[in-house]
A and B are shown apart, each in its own frame.
Chain A
Amino acid sequence: MANLNVNIGNLQLKNPVMTASGTFGYGIEFADFVDLTQIGGIFVKGTTIEHREGNPYPRMAETPAGMLNAVGLQNKGADYFANNIYPNIKDIDTHMIVNVSGSTVETYVECAEKIAALDKIPAIELNISCPNVKHGGMAFGVTCAGAAEVVRAVRKVYPKTLIVKLSPNVTDVTEIARAVEAEGADAVSLINTLLGMAIDAEKRKPILSTVTGGLSGPCVKPIALRMVWQTYNAVKIPIIGLGGISNWKDAVEFMLAGSSAIQIGTYNFVDPAISVKTVEGINDYLVKHGFKSVTEIIGALEV
């Protein structure tokens, strides 16, 4: 058994495998399929200060080796989370991390403050990269100034581990990563979904109610890997890599490219037990190659 512990800022993870926001509910949805305590961390569904109904149906289109979604941050709001969901998940023995979203700097700050008050939530993931909402979301994540502004404001009110989730829908992801690092982000996670589109030729109509949506799944993996590697060479803060990871080998590739930890997203839908299988697979890889600790492979790509 290799040592699988990794750190993200002050956050110590029992292993580098986490589950991505919006693909793992609040963890409890998967409790019948996996032992949640064997996962390094669980990023729960995107949370906003206000209750949001999300976008109209249809919200999903299957695509080659992936899918588009346009959920639009459906959630019952930060108060509902704190009062009704948090009590049910706070004692699960893994890190429960809340993905925080907003439509203005003020609502990001307000939501982060609410979550900061919850003892058993050790970190937030600031979502400045959701492509499916009209206001806020990705609008902040596609310019250095916008990203810096929201991270600066949230950093002032949020003392725990602050992870910022980056959008791939930019010309140069490393510039955004540098901007949020300069404002005190403890880590970055990337990538969020790629803006995409699907059409029904027979009906001559878009499949999604919002016309465009966020692409995820194995089809985005090469892009995500490239962006992780570029970002690893640009910032000093840890990177949590995600984008199309569907097995332990993908996870190892993301770590070699510079990720300190990884998130599994869309593939949770295909194999609800993939998270724990990935932990086991990484361990087997480390043992096979003679590594004592998983930290030895972070950024160990030989170029």
Chain B
Amino acid sequence: MKKYLLDLKVADNVRLHPNYCLLKLTSEETLPEMIPGQFVEVRVDGSSSTFLRRPISVNYVDKDRNELWLLVQLIGDGTRRMAEYRQGDTMNVVLPLGNGFTIPDSDQEEKNLLLVGGGVGTAPMLFLGAVLKSKGFHPIFLLGGRTKNDVLQLDDFAKFGDVCITTEDGSLGEKGFVTNHSILNTKLFDTIYTCGPKPMMVAVAKYAAGKDISCEVSLENTMACGFGACLCCVENTVEGHVCVCTEGPVFNTRKLKWQI
């Protein structure tokens, strides 16, 4: 896919949570095509300690409003600065980057698809679910957080599929981790897509491997460029070291050398 270097306009920046903001970016031109699982590299202006761009996964693309949504977890100076962008500000973005999740052929719409997200890893699941629903699938979301306040965008997820939730304190949904949720014992899935903290993804991959379910994970290795030039973000795979930014960020777990 052709990559673009664009100045986008901030349409809205909503603080969904003390540690998360939802940036909605737009442009006078039609935004480039993006597919679920891809990411963008954002240049953060006005943060002296932030040198490199920040890779952020595509949370959602609202074609009607020509908006790209980025769910940003405020971790360091760069992402905290991103939370300060206001409507009308300009943000320089490289996009779209990376591959995407595998979308099954649309004649397979009976397939049971589970989308598992934890923390900021729920971000790409919204766009993935939206695209799956638009193609006739009935995705099930399984979202995890520490408390009920940490499970974000629930109204948006509900538009595209059934939503299952786990929280570590039991304040919303079932108590525990995503891999403890009862849906995993009551329904057999054909494909699982997951993104979140590595221990969570490894646990999901283990569950999938145990039931011989195809499993795709989205990785977030630290990277500099985002398009295959610096070779910093490599993951060890059956094909050796490959760049997460170009060969991923989505990998079938069969390709990875994880201990599962």
Residues of A within 8 A of B222 (CB): 58, 60-61
Residues of B within 8 A of A33 (CB): 3, 5, 94
B234 within 8 A of A: yes
A222 within 8 A of B: no
Interface of A, helix, strand, loop or mixed by DSSP? loop
A65 within 8 A of B: yes
Q: Which of B99-107, B172-180, B199-207, B223-231 contacts A (4 or more CB under 8 A)?
A: B223-231
Are A69's CB and B229's CB within 8 A? no
Q: How far is the CB of B260 from chain A (nearest CB, A)?
A: 18
A74 within 8 A of B: yes
Residue of A nearest to B4 (CB): A32
Q: Mark B207-239, 1 if CB is under 8 A from A, else 0.
A: 000000000000001111111111111111000
Sort chain A's interface into a size bin: 35 or more
Residue of A nearest to B232 (CB): A60
B9 within 8 A of A: no
Residues of B within 8 A of A25 (CB): 228-229
Interface of B, helix, strand, loop or mixed by DSSP? loop
Residues of A within 8 A of B228 (CB): 25, 29
A59 within 8 A of B: yes
Residues of A within 8 A of B233 (CB): 57, 59-60
Q: State the CA gap A67–B3 with chains docked (Å).
A: 24
Are B229's CB and A23's CB within 8 A? yes
Sort chain B's interface into a size bin: 20 to 34
Q: State the CA gap A67–B223 with chains docked (Å).
A: 11
Are A69's CB and B241's CB within 8 A? no
Residues of B within 8 A of A272 (CB): 5, 94, 225, 227
> Which B residues from 41 to 95 make CB contacts under 8 A with A?
43, 49-53, 94
Q: How far is the CB of A24 from chain B (nearest CB, A)?
A: 6
Are A24's CB and B229's CB within 8 A? yes
Residues of A within 8 A of B223 (CB): 60
Q: State the CA gap A217–B230 with chains docked (Å).
A: 13
Are B94's CB and A59's CB within 8 A? no
Residues of A within 8 A of B94 (CB): 33, 272
Tell me which of A56, A59, A268 has the highest count of chain B C-beta atoms within 10 A of its own C-beta. Answer: A59
Residue of A nearest to B78 (CB): A62
* Given contact pairs A23-B230, A71-B230, A60 touches B224 in the complex (Cβ within 8 A): yes
* Given contact pairs A60-B224, A64-B51, A270-B52, A30 touches B229 in the complex (Cβ within 8 A): yes
9 nearest A-B residue pairs (beta carbon): A60-B232, A25-B229, A269-B225, A32-B3, A269-B224, A59-B232, A29-B229, A71-B231, A53-B241
Chain A positions within 8 Å of B, measured between CB atoms, are 22-25, 29-30, 32-33, 45, 53-54, 56-67, 69, 71, 74, 217-218, 266, 268-273
Chain B positions within 8 Å of A, measured between CB atoms, are 2-5, 43, 49-53, 94, 221-236, 240-241
